[in-house]
Amino acid sequence: MGYAYSTSKLVDAGLWILNTMKKCTSIEQMTMIDNQNIEECFLYKLSQQKGLEWFKKITFLASHQDLYVPFYSARIQKSKEIQTDFKKGFTRGVHYCKMIDNILNRINGKLIRLDINFCIQ
C-alpha cells in the first residue's frame, strides 16, 4: 500500500534525503507524490488493475518489527489514522481507503494475513 502514512520519522527523513539528492521514481511512487492528483499516482492506478482475482489463495505478511514497511500497509488494512482521515473527509484518507477497497474487492479466493515476529536467540 506504499508509505503514504508513515510510522517512522527516521525513515521519513531518509526517504526525503534520498529523493532530494537524487530524484527516485520508486520513492515518489511509494510515498504517493509522483502526481499531485492522487488518482493519477502509480499506486492508486495499480490498485485498480486486474490480477488478484486470478488467485485462489492470497497471503499478506507483516511484522510490527519491520521499521521500513508500515504494518497496516503490508496487511493492506485501514489504520486508525487512515480511518480518521476518511471520516474527516481528508483527500488522502478517502483515496487511501478507495485503494484498499479496490484491492480487497478484487480478491475472490481465501485471504490470509500473517503477523510475523522475529526472535533471535
User: pLDDT tens digits, residue range 97-120?
Assistant: 999 999 999 998 899 999 999 877
Q: How far is CA 41 from CA 4, 45, 56, 73, in A?
A: 11, 6, 28, 16
Q: How far is CA 102 from CA 14, 54, 94, in A?
A: 30, 15, 12
Asked if pLDDT for residue 59 goes beyond 90, the answer is yes
Do 47 and 104 form a contact (C-beta atoms < 8 A)?
A: no
Asked if pLDDT for residue 33 goes beyond 90, the answer is no
Crossing angle between the packed helical segments 91-104 and 80-87, to the nearest 10 degrees: 120
User: By percentage, how much of the chain surpasses pLDDT 90?
Assistant: 53
* Residue 96, φ and ψ in degrees, nearest 5: -65, -40
Question: Among the listed ranges 5-19, 54-68, 69-83, which one has the minimum average pLDDT value?
Answer: 5-19
- Taking the C-alpha atoms of residue 46 and residue 106, their distance in angstroms, rounded to an integer, is 12
| pLDDT top residue among 10 and 121 | 10
In terms of pTM, does the model score above 0.75?
Answer: yes
Residues in the chain: 121
Q: How far is CA 19 from CA 24, 67, 77, 94, in A?
A: 6, 19, 27, 26
Q: What is the mean pLDDT of residues 91-100?
A: 92
- Taking the C-alpha atoms of residue 96 and residue 101, their distance in angstroms, rounded to an integer, is 9
Asked if pLDDT for residue 70 goes beyond 90, the answer is no
User: By percentage, how much of the chain surpasses pLDDT 70?
Assistant: 98
pLDDT value of residue 103? 95
